[in-house]
Structure 1
Amino acid sequence: MRQGSYACRFPALSVPVALYLTVLSLLLLITPSIAWRPWPNHQTNGSDPIYGASKKYEGSSEFVHLKYHMGPVLTANITVHTIWYGTWAKAQKKIIREFISSFSAVNSKPPSVAQWWKTVRLYTDQTGANITRSVVLGAEKNDRFYSHGKSLTRLSIQSVIKSAVTANTKPLPINAQNGLYLLLTSADVYVQDFCGQVCGFHYFTFPSIVGYTLPYAWVGNSAKQCPGVCAYPFAVPDYIPGLKPLKAPNGDVGVDGMISVIGHEIAELATNPLVNAWYAGQDPSFPVEIADLCEGIYGTGGGGSYTGQLTEDGDGATYNINGIRRRFLVQWVWNHVVSYCTGPNALDQ
């Protein structure tokens, strides 16, 4: 579906290919390649039902048929350009910035974010080149005045990105070769299907809207709208009596909940940026990707309604991996070498 090039080592898209991408994407009803909620025992939009059972177990290789479809993966060093849409506190930005910076922080205390990223790096393209080790912060753009309103559709998300890369002052750089554009919406912004179906998704921009084909991910702060859905396990649904939330490692339920979704989206952008690389299932417009396969699993024994074995700090906050200075809770991803979900905090390593 996403033939062409906007990442890795490929040149900019030609006009015919860009037109093809745009038309085909519109025919697919603008469906992002992933739409994810961290709450256990649900299915990603369009996922093949056969994978529902596989998510209950770390070693579910009998049911998982993850395949490589010969498309590119992100082998070039990744630069994450962030768009802060809405109202964000400085402390919230610092948490997210450190998480992204921790991807390449190899000296972090184990189990670390960088070790978690090693599983993603196991994936290769058809030349045998691995996904890059380097994930760094790039330029940022603040849209604190809600230039496109407080209610966004999936198409208007692309318009927000266009505004950021075409701004009269300090536009984000156009980096079609190794840039990744991360749009983060604050807690007072509603996005189409947010909470009901998605907490985040990734896709690519249409040349007809943005002028370029750029990989992007959107993640929303669910603190005011649905923390029990998108900030689980730091918040729990009201309809489940007796279930107590865990204490967030950085003291911000909404942002700590976003961290795992951000990791989920970046991992899948790296391994399936054009929806023609690594995924399971028969339909590339609804792929089951490497993080989808491990929803709700954060530690050994995880699956179903159980997160798995986690760690508590001295203040009772729960986490599973270390960043440069902070601690985070991030879901595991599928390891195609051993055919089960893995993470650096696994007890059997």
Structure 2
Amino acid sequence: MSVSSSCLLLLALAALAVASPLAVVAWRPWPHHFVSRSAVNATAAMNTGGGSGGSVDTGGLGVSKKYEGSSEFVKLRYHMGPVLTANVTIHPIWYGAWAPAQKHILRAFLRSISAASAPHPSVAAWWRTVRLYTDQTGANVSAIVLLGAERSDRHYSRGRALTRLAIQSVIRDAVTAPRRPIPVNPRGGLYLVLTSSDVAVQDFCVQACGFHYFTFPAIVGYTLPYAWVGNSATQCPGICAYPFAVPPFAVGLRSAERPPNGDVGVDGMVSVVAHELAEMASNPLVNAWYAGEDPCFPTEIADLCEGIYGTGGGGAYTGQLLIDSHTGAAFNLHGVGGSKFLVQWIWHPYLSYCSGPNALDHQ
């Protein structure tokens, strides 16, 4: 449900990591660890397209399959709830101080979700994996995702420290505003609360970089799917703006990747926003698509692929990324107007592994 500080979990996986071939451009926040020469050679063959699906013997540490995130232990199931089959309209609520350039980056990403004309690999192609999820009638998640009416709260009307529940009050303020309220759309509306870098939110940087849920009628007056994502630039960029910032444990071990739009915090937010949108579309009321038996702690379609951005990704290793030849920035998806973004992959419901349009087997 949330992009959490499970980046800390990646620390434990670091000791099991296998170094990648030099030709692979990816982010790894620790020195290379060679388990064995045979394992390294096998990994190189897999990441460069060699072989037809062999496995890597990591000396008794288990078998790593070719496909990113694949596991016989993942039991993603449909729990009969709705998915967003109607045209989706995203309503951003800008809480705090936002520069026009920052808003432009996030708006460009949201507009790119339905922009079929963007070059390959595109944000729209990434969304096609989300669209594979269906409801009990067989209807797919909508292909149409629109940027709707917005609301700005520059005066921090709920303060600079928000609880999770206070996020719903921010939404209520937006939909009940006396002037230009955001429309209420329980069927296809998604309400996206974006907090600026000087706003503290409960569990931010400790357990979550973002989360989604649905509003309570007792607070907002309606049941609406919503998400919150914070700008981590001044609070925890090494955790929530990965891989554009180096985690504290990796300072001095290597440098961060350059963000494609020149803003570490906002470029980091893009992937978290994508994560939450994918989960809201496939599990808006937390009773549709997720793994596990407890709906209070579901493992959703983006949770399964956290930290995976390209072929070979997994275990704190991003996988192969694209590099902008002019700026040297890392990205994996194209958007509208020449924009570029780095967005995590999504669990593919038919292939049962993490997938994205920049995968080597999609080229």
Query: Secondary structure, in 3 states, of the residue corresponding to 2:211?
Result: strand
Query: Secondary structure, in 3 states, of the residue corresponding to 2:91?
Result: strand
What do the CA deviations read for 1:114-148 (whole angstroms, capped 9, x no partner)?
00000000010011101000000000001000000
Query: Secondary structure, in 3 states, of the residue corresponding to 1:263?
Result: helix
User: Take 1:316 and 1:123, find their aligned partners in 2: how far apart are those partners?
Assistant: 35
User: Take 2:160 and 2:99, find their aligned partners in 1: how far apart are those partners?
Assistant: 17
User: Take 1:100 and 1:38, find their aligned partners in 2: how far apart are those partners?
Assistant: 25
Query: Secondary structure, in 3 states, of the residue corresponding to 1:139?
Result: coil
Partner of 1:72: 82
What is the 5 A alignment of 1:59-208?
59-208=69-218
What do the CA deviations read for 1:189-211 (whole angstroms, capped 9, x no partner)?
00000001100000011111111
- Classify 1:309/1:199 alpha carbon distance in 2 versus 1 (closer, same or farther; 3 Å): same
User: Take 2:80 and 2:330, find their aligned partners in 1: how far apart are those partners?
Assistant: 39
Partner of 1:272: 283
Which of 320, 342, 345 in structure 2 is aligned with 1:332?
345
Partner of 2:37: none
What RMSD over aligned residues (CA atoms) do the two structures have, in Å? 1.8
How far is the alpha carbon of 1:86 from its aligned partner?
0.3
User: Take 1:222 and 1:310, find their aligned partners in 2: how far apart are those partners?
Assistant: 22
Answer yes or no: is the 8 Å Cα contact 2:69–2:304 preserved in 1: no
Query: Secondary structure, in 3 states, of the residue corresponding to 2:127?
Result: helix
Query: Secondary structure, in 3 states, of the residue corresponding to 2:360?
Result: coil
How far is the alpha carbon of 1:90 from its aligned partner?
0.3
- Classify 1:55/1:153 alpha carbon distance in 2 versus 1 (closer, same or farther; 3 Å): farther
User: Take 1:107 and 1:299, find their aligned partners in 2: how far apart are those partners?
Assistant: 22
Unaligned runs of 5+ in 1: 1-32, 44-52
How far is the alpha carbon of 1:237 from its aligned partner?
1.3
How far is the alpha carbon of 1:59 from its aligned partner?
4.7
User: Take 1:283 and 1:348, find their aligned partners in 2: how far apart are those partners?
Assistant: 35
Q: Structure 1 length as normaliser, TM-score? A: 0.85
Partner of 2:53: none
Unaligned runs of 5+ in 2: 12-62
User: Take 1:302 and 1:164, find their aligned partners in 2: how far apart are those partners?
Assistant: 39
How far is the alpha carbon of 1:305 from its aligned partner?
1.9
User: Take 1:42 and 1:274, find their aligned partners in 2: how far apart are those partners?
Assistant: 29
Q: What is the aligned residue count?
A: 308
What do the CA deviations read for 1:50-94 (whole angstroms, capped 9, x no partner)?
xxx999961523121101111110000000011000000000001
User: Take 1:56 and 1:235, find their aligned partners in 2: how far apart are those partners?
Assistant: 28
Code of the residue aligned with 1:234 in structure 2: it is F
How far is the alpha carbon of 1:176 from its aligned partner?
1.1
User: Take 2:329 and 2:99, find their aligned partners in 1: how far apart are those partners?
Assistant: 21
How far is the alpha carbon of 1:224 from its aligned partner?
0.4
Answer yes or no: is the 8 Å Cα contact 2:302–2:347 preserved in 1: yes
Q: Structure 2 length as normaliser, TM-score? A: 0.82
Larger Rg: 2
1:316 counterpart = 2:284: no
What is the 5 A alignment of 1:246-257?
246-257=257-268
Query: Secondary structure, in 3 states, of the residue corresponding to 1:104?
Result: coil
